[in-house]
Amino acid sequence: MKVFVAGATGVLGRPLVRALIEGGHEVTGLTRSPARRDRIEALGARAAVADALDAASIARVVQEAAPTHVVHVLTALPPAGPMRPRDLRATNLVRTRGTANLLHAAREAGARRVVAESFLGVYGAAGFDRPRGEDEPLPPPGRGSLREAVLALRAMETQLLEARAAGLETVALRYGGFYGPGVPGLSGLGHALRARKVFVPRGANGVASFIHVDDAVTATVAALEHPAPSAVYNVVDDEPIALTAYLAAAAAAFGAPPPRSLPAWIVGLAAPVIAAAAFMRVPLSNAKAKAELGWRPAYPSVRESLAAVVAAMREAS
């Protein structure tokens, strides 16, 4: 394959480019910063410099790369993760306008398939009582601090489906929460836990699905290489986990005290995105990805894997 990776210097983009090169594929990696060209070229890929929000520049670099497959893993999140709705707005724009530009460029360049990064947040104001599959109807988006981000994810997936109906193969991968080496949010969580700056909203009953970044990479490669993938897959591990259990496991792994609880309204003042997420129940099923893509997570449980991951991060540093 000739693969164009938009977001090649990101959390998922870097290991994905590396895996594709190791798999014998020809890769062009996109960055909007000329200073990051060397990072892409050091992986063995060709670097392209353009802004995804500039339709003309994206069309030019994709045309020059002439890919058979395009991967859209563009985000613009703060390293420590989003705390307020404004922290998500740049990524929302990439998922709406940036997706439109990339799809148009892919069609014009003659690419056959586009695989794009979605997220479990697409399920919105979920209150699932069991792991749900991706073929069930999406629940309401909700009206809180996450609404704009949920609608951006859904707009992105709608664009992908429309492009698929018009003849371009498209796949949306709904990743769980990332963890693993090189994930800034995990190392940031460790620092915050040790500094006793993590607070759980009182009564939080949220449940989420996670995915090790290495497993996200293998799932993405599987979606690229499969002869006829479906339009959407949940890419998550085998065991959804309660937010409180995840934070307890993270605290233990980092050697930090358990996070303290505060009334939800106080947490909401300081970090409304975190407060809203703390009450979302989004356990997801990966059965479809396993059955159709032949994919299996090497890290089936964040609860069981987190300690080893943090230990490896410490050794690497």
Domain count, the chain: 1
∠ CA 179-277-10, nearest 5°, is 35
Per-residue pLDDT band at 313 (split at 50, 70, 90): confident
Tens-digit pLDDT profile for residues 200-241: 999 999 999 999 999 999 999 999 999 999 999 999 999 999
Q: Which domain holds residue 309?
A: 2-316
pLDDT at 114: 98
| pLDDT above 90 (res 118) | yes
Tokens coding 137 = 């109807």
Section 138-159 average pLDDT: 93
Bridge partners of residue 175, in order along the sequence = 119, 235
The residue to which tokens 């987190």 are assigned: 306
| pLDDT above 90 (res 136) | no
| pLDDT above 80 (res 317) | no
Question: Model-level pTM?
Answer: 0.96
pLDDT at 314: 84
What is the phi-psi region of residue 142: left when phi exceeds 0, alpha when psi lies from -120 to 50, beta otherwise?
left
Section 297-304 average pLDDT: 96
Section 41-67 average pLDDT: 97
| pLDDT above 90 (res 312) | no
Q: By the 8 A CB rule, do 88 and 121 touch? A: no
| pLDDT above 90 (res 78) | no
| pLDDT above 80 (res 99) | yes
Tens-digit pLDDT profile for residues 44-54: 999 999 999 99
Rounded to an integer, what distance in angstroms lies between the CA atom of residue 104 and that of residue 153? 18
3-state helix, strand, coil in the chain (%, to 5): 45, 20, 35
Section 271-292 average pLDDT: 94
What CATH code is carried by the domain that includes residue 52? Answer: 3.40.50.720
